[in-house]
Amino acid sequence: MLYVGIDLGTSAVKLLLMDELGKIHSVVSKDYELYFPHPGWSEQKPEDWYSRTMEGLKELLKDCDKSKVAGISFGGQMHGLVILDKDDNVIRPAILWNDGRTTEETDYLNNVIGKDKLSQYTANIAFTGFTAPKILWVKNKEPENFAKIEKIMLPKDYLAYKLSGVHCTDVSDASGMLLFDVKNRCWSKEMMEICHVKESQLAKIFESYETVGNIKPEIAKELGVPETVKIVAGAGDNAAAAVGTGTVGDGRCNISLGTSGTIFISSKTFGVDSNNALHSFAHADGSFHLKSIN
């Protein structure tokens, strides 16, 4: 059988085709634009992610036995805010992880709501890159767009939604939103109230390795693959990379030097750094991890 991995990066989407033995059959990369409409802002168009992913899938699969394709899953840039209206149209460009516009909202969360409460609700404190401050920014600065929101999702989950029709996310990516109760692996009711978000606007939560559904029939037809192809939730980029490097279980560590630098420590048990100097997230292996980002 054949399996597709899709990595939605900040500068390009990378696609890989491999078999059940881990042999790589094909690799494709497709670039897209990154926009900086104001100093400190960083945005992309989710529609570009999808169109380039579909181009990449067609190129990736052109020389293989498409009847053997059994599954598609994802890794990708974390924290970005994608919002859709009731007709599934993207309301505004995605606000990315490296966007710095949310200083006021981050200060409000940390200093007015309070770091202790945030840590109690989510195991983390607010950073400008996280998703919750971005939601508050849209509410405060673009109320007309906030009023249209039907679905809130993360970047890679937009691709999963487009391919499966299921509004889904995984625990590792959801952990970086500041809306997720990491200890109990569910949405935080307190944070939803603080951010004026309804649970119906948020995705159904899956473990990274769980199937969210099958590929949509019309997408299967366009790609020439079986309608039985499974769409699997996937993981945020750091958690996915940790699985790939064997940083799973208890007490393993990796260091990543890329667009951002991270120290990633896997743990079988939930824990929060007393100074909140480390992110405490759910891991793609079904457990937890601590992470430092520079």
CATH assignment at residue 154: 3.30.420.40
Residue 174 counted as domain residue? yes
Amino acid at 122: T
Closest CA relative to residue 237, chosen from 1, 4, 3, 6: 6
Residue 182 counted as domain residue? yes
Per-residue pLDDT reduced to its tens digit, 247-286: 999 999 999 887 678 899 999 999 998 888 899 999 999 9
Residue 254 counted as domain residue? no
Angle, alpha carbons 52-56-58 (nearest 5°): 120
Amino acid at 172: S
Residue 255 counted as domain residue? no
Distance of alpha carbon 79 from alpha carbon 187, whole angstroms: 15
Residue 266 counted as domain residue? no
Q: How confident is the model at residue 294 (pLDDT cuts 50, 70, 90)?
A: low
pLDDT at 166 over 80: yes
Task: Supply the pLDDT for residue 257.
Answer: 85
Residue 282 counted as domain residue? no
Per-residue pLDDT reduced to its tens digit, 221-233: 999 999 999 999 9
Distance of alpha carbon 185 from alpha carbon 272, whole angstroms: 14
Residue 274 counted as domain residue? no
Domain count of the chain? Answer: 1
* Mean pLDDT taken over the chain: 96
Distance of alpha carbon 221 from alpha carbon 5, whole angstroms: 19
Task: Supply the pLDDT for residue 293.
Answer: 67
Q: Which of 170, 181, 237, 285 is catalytic?
A: 237
Q: What is the average per-residue pLDDT within 185-214?
A: 98
Task: Supply the pLDDT for residue 277.
Answer: 86
Distance of alpha carbon 289 from alpha carbon 190, whole angstroms: 23
The pTM (predicted TM-score) of the whole model is: 0.96
Q: Is 63 labeled as catalytic in the residue annotation?
A: no
DSSP conformation class of 201: G
Residue 47 counted as domain residue? yes
